[in-house]
Chains A and B, each alone.
Chain A
Amino acid sequence: MDIVIVLIKIVLALVWFLVLTLYLTWLERKESAVIQDRVGANRASIFGIRILGLFQPFADAIKMIFKEDFVPAFSKKFLHTLAPFLSFFFVAICITAMPFGNDIMVGGRTISLQIFDANVGLLFVLAMLSLGIYGILLSGWASNNRYSLLGGIRGAAQLISYEVALGLSLVGLIMVFPSLKLSEIVQSQGGLLFGFLPKWGVFLQPLGFIIFLFAALAETKRVPFDLPEGESEIIGFFTEYGGLKWGLFMMTDFMEIIIVSTLLTTLFFGGWQVPWLSADGFQFPWGGQWQMARWLVIIFQVLAFNIKVFFFCWLQILIRWTYPRFRYDQLMDMGWKLLVPLSLVNIVGTGLLLMVIK
């Protein structure tokens, strides 16, 4: 029975993840179209019905499936095939640790809306995200092409530079919510600050949030930080890929957006917590009350999680289509000379503040 529940949870999470990934490609095209005053993809249709091009992701997927399996003669063949797999696998795995909602009771059985609640959930996610570097580095190396290699090495250097700031920015958060269990971090964001403000990470760790946001944006390798790809100069580490192998790299890109959004939501925006909503309904700070059934509360919480994740996905696409690319020295300066010292300041400041308050 337990195994069946686990399998159901994995399948549900997988469907959620893949559908969201597919529709982020649609959202990206539509949002860029709006920003650039175009219409965007709207031609894909089923029996003449085309609702805003909503079938476009499926048309793209079918097109990519029936492409030729092209492995260049000059490449290192095994590594060339392995790289997209590693890149996809290690990002996709991260969804395991994300809490989608509070525990639910079904037939006297407590089921957590999370696939695997590891004691070190946060470290697990960070580790898997950084293992994704191997996909980039290997694809650059195995392609045996100068541009791919340059893209791969740039990508690896950028990711490991921002990895340090990413890790350090979370130390302050763990000092405030002393747990590495993602479900516990979300649980402890449930209370109120000064009687009205939700006790979310962003209010307790504003500096940590900003550092984490910049470092996480750099980890997704998208436009302000897209030096490894650089569409207008070196094309990037996937120059020699085509069909679904290239598709896996693109899926990785969008999956990283989702993982970063879920992490931002879980760590800094209260995960599935709704402001002023407790187990038996809303308790407004101005004295109002709104009783609700248990199942309604659960639905509200899962919806809140989804809305927050969609918001951050939308925000990241907006940032990607708004800002120009950094120069490489600016990128490295920001990572090492700005974010790392700032996160050290954040750690010491948080420690001193916690001493004063206690």
Chain B
Amino acid sequence: MIELFFVFLIFGLLGVVLLSMNALLGPRRTNPNKEKPFECGSPYLQNEIKPFSVKFYLVAFLFLLFDIEVVFFFPWALIFKQMKESALLIMLAYVIVLVVGFVYAWKKGAFEWD
């Protein structure tokens, strides 16, 4: 584990050094126009963050469900060769449950982007 500690330390320090280099070595010239948000040259009307599509929220939800299911596959795959047929039957049942959920989400239109 000592390796991991040193890796985190060294890479973290490198990141901090790279981040602070501009502040230490760069110039500091600012003016009010520079501080405006970038918007293709036109003056901006509102600078608060706009609401965004609910689709992104849905994707996050689907990811949460399916990624947890992916995690369950890993320990099973590791001992698959030792467990033989029983492992296959167990996982077939699991995959069927997963597929039912997947087809349901599909039919409900969760994967449609129109």
B84 in contact (CB, < 8 A):
yes
Separation of A65 and B20 alpha carbons in the complex (Å): 10
Interface string of A1-31 (1 = CB under 8 A from B): 0110011011100100000000000000000
For the complex, count residues of A whose C-beta is within 8 A of B: 77
* B80 A240 Cβ-Cβ under 8 A: no
The residues of A that contact B18 with a CB separation of less than 8 Å are: 88, 244, 247-248
Closest to A358 in B: B84
Q: How far is the CB of A325 from chain B (nearest CB, A)?
A: 15
Separation of A171 and B26 alpha carbons in the complex (Å): 48
Extra 14 A-B pairs, beta carbons < 8 Å, given A74-B35, A329-B113: A7-B6, A65-B21, A70-B34, A143-B37, A144-B37, A144-B49, A145-B38, A153-B52, A157-B60, A175-B77, A235-B38, A248-B18, A344-B102, A352-B88
* B37 A175 Cβ-Cβ under 8 A: no
* B8 A146 Cβ-Cβ under 8 A: no
* A84 B19 Cβ-Cβ under 8 A: yes
Q: How far is the CB of B86 from chain A (nearest CB, A)?
A: 11
Chain A stretch 312-358: residues in CB contact (< 8 A) with chain B: 328-329, 332-333, 336-337, 340-341, 344, 347-348, 351-352, 354-355, 358
Which of B19, B22, B48, B59 has the largest number of chain A CB atoms within 10 A?
A: B22
* B15 A248 Cβ-Cβ under 8 A: yes
Separation of A85 and B106 alpha carbons in the complex (Å): 37
B: residues with CB less than 8 A from A are: 2-4, 6-8, 10-12, 14-16, 18-19, 21-23, 25-30, 34-39, 47-50, 52, 55-56, 59-60, 62-63, 66-67, 70-71, 73-74, 77-82, 84-85, 87-88, 91-92, 95, 98-99, 102, 106, 111-114
Q: How far is the CB of B56 from chain A (nearest CB, A)?
A: 5
* A93 B95 Cβ-Cβ under 8 A: no
Q: How far is the CB of A139 from chain B (nearest CB, A)?
A: 13
Q: How far is the CB of A154 from chain B (nearest CB, A)?
A: 8
| A171 and B59 contact, Cβ closer than 8 Å, known pairs A179-B78, A344-B99, A352-B88 | no
Closest to A329 in B: B113
* A180 B74 Cβ-Cβ under 8 A: yes
A-B contact pairs, 26 of them (CB 8 A): A6-B2, A10-B7, A14-B11, A65-B22, A66-B25, A67-B22, A68-B22, A72-B37, A74-B36, A92-B11, A116-B4, A118-B4, A144-B48, A145-B39, A147-B38, A149-B52, A157-B59, A160-B59, A160-B63, A171-B70, A178-B82, A243-B22, A329-B112, A333-B111, A348-B91, A355-B84
A355 is contacted by which of B29, B35, B85 (Cβ under 8 Å)? Answer: B85
A115 is contacted by which of B7, B23, B48 (Cβ under 8 Å)? Answer: B7
The residues of B that contact A160 with a CB separation of less than 8 Å are: 59-60, 63, 67
The residues of B that contact A89 with a CB separation of less than 8 Å are: 11-12, 15
| A174 and B78 contact, Cβ closer than 8 Å, known pairs A6-B2, A116-B4 | yes
The residues of A that contact B25 with a CB separation of less than 8 Å are: 65-66
Separation of A243 and B87 alpha carbons in the complex (Å): 54
A: residues with CB less than 8 A from B are: 2-3, 6-7, 9-11, 14, 65-70, 72-74, 81, 84-85, 88-89, 92-93, 96, 115-116, 118, 123, 141, 143-147, 149-150, 153, 156-157, 160-161, 163-164, 167-168, 171-172, 174-175, 178-180, 235, 239-240, 243-245, 247-248, 328-329, 332-333, 336-337, 340-341, 344, 347-348, 351-352, 354-355, 358
The residues of A that contact B80 with a CB separation of less than 8 Å are: 175, 178, 351, 354
* B60 A332 Cβ-Cβ under 8 A: no
| A72 and B35 contact, Cβ closer than 8 Å, known pairs A65-B21, A243-B22, A332-B111 | yes
* B81 A178 Cβ-Cβ under 8 A: yes
| A348 and B92 contact, Cβ closer than 8 Å, known pairs A68-B29, A157-B60, A164-B63 | yes
* A351 B91 Cβ-Cβ under 8 A: yes
Separation of A240 and B44 alpha carbons in the complex (Å): 15
